[in-house]
Structure 1
């Protein structure tokens, strides 16, 4: 008896849900929807589809637990209800609803009818199933041919395709070339058409119509799209149940803020959770997201994406993964912007409205667009301009006027345009003590933009100390290496409790620059590089720095004229890290990871 109790409870539950009154409600809906040929009924169908699907599932459970005679006796409106749904193309266009209808009908079919009710039901079901069977539903076709001897037909697909073709044709005609300024644009029909498409967003046959709607709305201000349609598209696209062409995706983001935000956050999540990603892989991932292309085409999309990055960096300015993503994204965006036709380009000030024009142009100019001999002067000017902003901020703090906004925006753009930071690091690897002051300030500002606890001056002292140690090490030709300088670098790379520590990536960047660009032998440079990295345990960070340096050089930001020599030295250092990583024991790996 205990084994039957769950079945009894389930039957009682379904019987309480599937009463005559609820069936009457859905039948009234099916009657009202009719052939879904008016905007009001089309608009009403979409929001009710999910509830209808749930109801059909409950109905199927009830049908499978009872005989056809018992079911028809309890629910006398069932045949009329299912029949009307089968003739509604907006219901049958949904794959889930169509399959549930098929299962309900097949559940009512009696293999061996025992009375007139079941024989009449079988006759009616044979006719209706012809409509539901499509050329893509092989299982349905086989059941029909095997058990009933009825050939499957593609009525549903033909109706749907004709409807889509008609609506798509109307869209093509909807926007007139307004030669007369008094002529009215007829794109108002786009709104009604998008409402009608809500139930069709996951239907492959409707993809051309959906793409046409999105494209039309991007070219005509009168071509408004229904919010329910945009929400349905966003949900279907995020769940990968709606394939869209690239330009349709861009148009969807242009019209749907929630869809755009979801795409940015999805990219962020994938970057932050991926392990072992190289700068090259990150660039490929960002480019494939289509977001840089969308931002280049629509300034409004760029401002939204940029604001998301800005907000995240305000909370975690030291997160190197986020900074790398922002840098890579901006690089891809600028490349896409350069590919646009001149008539489609928007002024850079529109994309970056919160910064002085001089600073904006200086940072957005690529190193490859400027002679190498001008790089140092350019960076000295940038350093001087940014120092002036920070001084104004500190003066504002002392007088009660907050100036953090300008400094943060300047730092944010410096993060986005990190190509100049990479050039700074290269120049520091070849500079003398008298030339490194402004460059060290710029590099320190990049890694430590805020002046929390008034530590900026102290960070600059530590940066100069690290540079001095490196310069001394790489200037020594005799062996052994000076132990004091080596140990001081290792100490700087190790976080000190209760003390503001210098960014390890700052020191590792300088170390890599000296090893690649300083006029020291390859064997000597490799020994210094290997010793410092091994003692500090920062193999993974050092590998990331080398990959980033290599990527920058490939884009024309190489200080040295002999690029082959530079790449060979980078490869040698990378091989050293690979051997070092392989030689570590599991315990050492865990310790350095911690």
Structure 2
């Protein structure tokens, strides 16, 4: 016999009743063709491993294969039946123990016909059990048995997947004849059998079929262990699934959906150098916007997660950017759906005041630029009325205002449009636009000082109008320094939002009609002195993304794009880190 693959141990006794139990089991299981035997095999795998480990100890302590076969006459039949049971061999631990037992029975120098016949059989079975991923097995077989590497395959696994796929693919058989046994009962057993297979690429189509199988009756259920294993393997990038299979996984498993959303939030909060373009690409690759467009229930869950995060970090620009980018991608996916597959917008946004829903979800590119002013004035007055009504009724907990603000955050394209109009607005026109911008940054007066913010925003707007009326140097030093102080974060007034002023500054620089040199110099001076170079690049990037969606008149588009490119180059030369 070959040298044992484990260290010799004190030989424990093999219980006769235990031996008879397992012999009866392997005979009853056969190749696990029925749902009952599939489920029973999976349920007994843990105990079977323990028995195989005990059996391996006995084999290792035998003097020869002949002795082992004499003392344990059931051994060949027992191991052989297990080797042809795909539910046993698909389990990595059981397969390893079977391999070690067979290798322990292989005779390097066979002394008789029994051992030669055993060697021939063992060679064939070991080729079956070997996998491309098991380097130790491959090396042993190539070195000691002369089996070419190309003969190693995954036939057992593929056979098991083929059998299960055939069963899973059948429809609900109880619909035509209620007295007939429903084929959906095999789904639970099939999903349980797939738990040890989730990291095998060969099993991915079967897993996708299980996830997408229509749940036509109460018996069509998937194992929780299966869903947890698939979710873990997919999130760890150990399993590749098609788009619709991923969406089906989220429909079946709430923890899996939550994990996907939190992963995106973690990327937005921790990854340095993530641009808005890369965030949009990551969202598209995640399939999350498409899943939410197809399934309203998924969107509501994702929205609840964003709502909860926003309450904890309402001033975090990375979180705001992720929510806005997600909503924009979601609305695009929703527009691509066929009308018969769509549900009402109210179903997606049940908590939002109905008068605000369509006006906010409408894109600026969907109406003429000339209509923006009236649209924004109406939005501003409607939101202002809501806040005044709710602040008078403190017992309501400000739910209506929060939901209105949350939708404004999701549809920040109108805030960006308001800031663009402020570049050319006059003193009589700026009030509603400035209020909307201030509300976006500070939705309540409680702890936010929105009234003070409105005064500061008006002051910043006045300074910017004065500065950008200058057509040639020198720049007004007093106004420039006041602007730097407004945009610089203040420890004395921590509630103030420098990004409010910075958003105004960037839009003035992009959309003013002056020649490029003076606006560029203003932006460079302010962001350099305030240390907000990276933040300015983020705001500039969001302006560019919105304009790419068509929110600019054709006559100005070329001039604006050239100016944005020049400003991006300038900020890049200042060694900024992109948002």
TM-score (norm 1): 0.83
Alpha carbons of structure 1 residues 127 and 172: separation in structure 2 relative to 1, 3 Å: closer
Do the aligned partners of residues 413 and 54 (structure 1) sit closer, same or farther apart at CA in structure 2, a change above 3 Å counting? farther
- Given candidates 538, 553, 567, the residue that maps to 1:544 is 538
CA contact (8 A) 1:493 1:507 kept: yes
Are the equivalent residues in 2 in contact too, given 1:423–1:559 (CA < 8 A)?
no
2:380–2:432 Cα contact (<8 Å) kept: yes
Check conservation: 2:323, 2:409, Cα contact below 8 A. yes
Q: Does 1:254 find its partner at 2:251? A: yes
User: RMSD across aligned C-alpha pairs, in angstroms?
Assistant: 3.9
Question: What's the CA shift string for 1:148-168, capped at 9, x where partnerless?
Answer: 467899898555544533443
1:190 corresponds to which residue?
187
1:559 Cα offset (Å): 5.5
Q: 1:510 and 2:504 equivalent?
A: yes
| Residues in 2 aligned to 1:346 and 1:159: alpha-carbon distance in whole angstroms | 46
2:267 aligns with 270
Task: Look up the match of 1:347.
Answer: 344
Deviations 1:104-161 (A, max 9, x none): 5335545357999988975664353243246887985675466346789989855554
- Counterparts of 1:27 and 1:511 in 2: how far apart (Å)? 84
With over 3 angstroms needed to count, the CA separation of the structure-2 counterparts of 1:189 and 1:86, relative to structure 1, is: closer
Q: 1:579 to 1:59 in 2, by over 3 A?
A: farther
Call closer, same or farther: CA 1:290–1:23 in 2, change over 3 Å. farther
2:125, 2:17 → 1: CA distance?
21
| Aligned equivalents of 1:384, 1:24: Cα separation in 2 | 83
Equivalence map 1:115-194=2 (5 Å) = 125-133=122-130, 143-144=140-141, 147-148=144-145, 157-158=154-155, 160-175=157-172, 187-194=184-191
Contact (CA 8 Å) 2:361, 2:411: kept in 1 or not?
Answer: yes
1:32 aligns with 2:25: yes
Contact 1:43 1:196 survives alignment (8 Å)? yes
Following superposition, the deviation at residue 431 of structure 1 comes to: 1.0
- Uncovered stretches (5+) of structure 1, i.e. residues with no partner: 1-9, 583-588
Rounded to whole Å, the distance in 1 between the matches of 2:254 and 2:19 is 34
- Size of the aligned set, in residue pairs, is 566
Candidates 466, 473, 477, aligned match of 1:472? 466
Aligned to 1:421: 415
CA 1:239–1:116 in structure 2 vs 1: closer, same or farther (change >3 Å)? farther
Deviation of 1:84 after TM superposition, in Å, equals 4.7
After TM superposition, give the deviation of residue 409 of structure 1 in Å: 1.0
Pairing partner for 1:460 from 454, 460, 465 = 454
Deviation at 1:390, TM superposition (A): 1.1
Q: Does the Cα contact within 8 Å between 1:133 and 1:154 map onto a contact in 2? A: no
Pairing of 1:482-497 with structure 2 (within 5 A):
482-497=476-491
| Separation in structure 1 between the aligned mates of residue 334 and residue 237 of structure 2, nearest angstrom | 28
Q: Which residue of 1 aligns with 2:383?
A: 386
- Cα distance, 1:324–1:117 mapped onto 2, change above 3 Å: same
For the 8 Å contact 1:215–1:248, the answer to whether it is kept is yes
Deviation per residue, 1:327-349 (Å, 9 max, x gap): 11111111111111111111111
1:411 aligns with 2:408: no
Shift of 1:224: 3.0
The partner residue of 1:42 within 38, 42, 53 is 38
Q: What is the deviation of 1:232?
A: 2.4
Which residue of 1 is the match for residue 3 of structure 2? none
- Does 2:429 align with 1:435? yes
Q: Is the 8 A contact 2:174 2:183 kept in 1?
A: no
CA contact (8 A) 2:86 2:160 kept: no
- Most deviating of 441-450 and 500-509: 500-509
